[in-house]
Chains A and B, each alone.
Chain A
Amino acid sequence: MAEILVLVDHVDGEVKKVTFELLTLARAYGDAAAVWVGPGYEGAKDKLAEYGAGKVYVAADEELTSYVVAPKVELLAQLVADKSPAAVFVAATGEGKEIAGRLAVRTESGVLTDVVGLQEGFVGEHSIFGGAIVTHAKVTKGTPIIAVRPNSAAAEASPSTPEEEQVSVTLSDAAKGARVVEKVVQEKGERPELTEAAIVVSGGRGVGGADNFKLIEELADSLGAAVGASRAATDAGWYPHTFQVGQTGKTVSPQLYIAVGISGAIQHRAGMQTSKTIVAINKDAEAPIFELVDYGVVGDLFQVAPQLTEEINKRK
């Protein structure tokens, strides 16, 4: 079978879960070949082996992570030319999609972004217009470049002994145009990252104020979940904008999504409609969020949410 290149998504050597999902997907359609860019491979190699990477291309040169996006693209373009992979998979994060887009230009290939499912022939499934329509699309030119959303596939371990190959690329001047002078890691605490989390608890207008978001955080922590917020809540300044779930914020697709005090306008639904199980707490029985839920509680969130938190903690 032909190789499928999987760009490893990692922060200073810590591999993101989506990478294991991509390796699992790649094994279903070819030989999974991981592409490692930057320092830190030694600490991560066991993880890549655990999830079945048959091969790892290691490009450890720190210069490749010193500029915005373009160096990774030049490395991948070189691998596409040298190794003729069947496809290239990247995580559909902000940067992952940019890498996919540039690589498509560079290799004259078609690109699919925000894929939530994959079928034979690299046919990608998309959920568009706020989840109202499901489309299937495929690449008709070049090497399929596919950006897959986190949580689109379950990561399954399949231990392997990957063959390692050191690779390098001579960067063009154009790739060195936007220099990263400092990486600022913002404290995210103990909670999982929003787009990768298996469970997300979000608060909206009904939460009523910044202080009350403590209720949302406590519920999230009882479940080991990430915290999200609707646009109404972030616009009001109750919770940082980076946690906004919705049309213009983050798109999440967790196993469980709990919407607290969120009415469920299209703006919000667009960011969470592909969640597997949806639970809502809202005092308005007519709120559109209840059209989506698997379980809904019509009631005062200030009563229901703390009770739910307490009950979950009790049952642990």
Chain B
Amino acid sequence: MNIVVCVKQVPDTASERKLKSDDSTLDREAADGVINELDEYAVEEALAIKESQGGEVTVLTMGPDKASESIRKALAMGADKAVHVTDEALVGSDGLSTSYALAQVLKKIGFDLVILGSESTDARMGVLAAMLSERLGVPQVTLANKVEIDGTSLKAQRLTDYGFDRVEATLPAVVSVVEKINEPRYPSFKGIMAAKKKPVEKLAVADAEIDAALVGLAGASTAVVDFADAPPREKGQIIKDEGDGGVKAADFLASKKFV
């Protein structure tokens, strides 16, 4: 089975994240880059499916050179090889154009199963898997907290606002997984050493038949009008409990008409 797992390098949520003033894109220099945390669940799920069904796991990422750190992490966890789409033309791509570029690459490299994390911790749109499914014309089995694959049969639990849906589909398909679907493995020392020898294919837009006019800032279908630091919240009142903290808090809630 040909499993492709999409990963994204994002700024570490623990570091200060900024936008650049000139083009309103993420300032990637300002923060340490790490693999998107939710993608680790996708990598783990891909590896588990490979272990039960056989096949190969390919890591696919789009991003600057530095994104190779996230590829190495996924390879060290046990993925077999990687495809890294990187090109100046891609800088500033929005969700729509990112899905276009990745769909072009997926058509080129082929897949039985595409797995993604449910969202990235920086953009947090949560739309990419759905968009890929639309572009590739294959079943969308997303927001899954349980995935079972047997041959070409796919069964999953999809989280909903009211509980979950049991979903069935036939491969090829696009799957997105939510946090805690599994326990992502830590790369072993052996895995880290082996990752250094695993093949990473770099593709520019032309290599993947991506139309440069449809990606990057030029191809974006949304534009940032302005941005600013959030206005600081007015300093609140903080009291030390002297035995009546609960009563005082109730007074505050009453003053705001919550009680």
Contacts and interface: CB of A to CB of B under 8 A. Distances in A.
Contacts of B139: 68, 177-178
Interface in A269-300: 270, 273, 277-279, 281, 285, 290-300
A299 B240 contact: yes
Given A94-B160, A133-B19, A270-B13, A174 B137 contact: yes
B206 interface: no
B163 A279 contact: no
A166 to B, nearest CB: 26
Given A104-B131, A111-B222, A94 B161 contact: yes
B246 A113 contact: no
Given A113-B125, A179-B169, A127 B230 contact: yes
Assign chain B's interface to a size class. 35 or more
Nearest to A299: B241
B121 interface: yes
B140 interface: yes
Contacts, number: 283
A279 B225 CA distance: 33
Assign chain A's interface to a size class. 35 or more
Contact residues of B: prevailing secondary structure? mixed
Nearest to B249: A308
A194 B96 CA distance: 29
A184 B164 contact: yes
Interface stretch (B1-9, B44-52, B192-200, B250-258): B250-258
Interface in B210-259: 220-231, 233-234, 236-241, 243-250, 252-254, 256, 258-259
A296 B225 contact: no
A310 B244 CA distance: 12
A97 to B, nearest CB: 5
A303 B241 contact: yes
B19 to A, nearest CB: 6
B190 interface: no
A167 interface: no
B256 A256 contact: yes
Shortest beta-carbon contacts, A-B, top 7: A299-B241, A307-B246, A101-B127, A177-B139, A110-B221, A186-B163, A98-B130
9 contacts: A11-B161, A94-B118, A106-B134, A111-B127, A292-B233, A296-B236, A297-B249, A299-B241, A304-B245
Given A68-B165, A181-B168, A188-B162, 17 more contacts: A69-B142, A70-B134, A94-B118, A95-B161, A97-B130, A133-B227, A133-B230, A136-B224, A180-B166, A184-B164, A277-B256, A297-B240, A297-B246, A297-B248, A304-B245, A308-B249, A315-B259
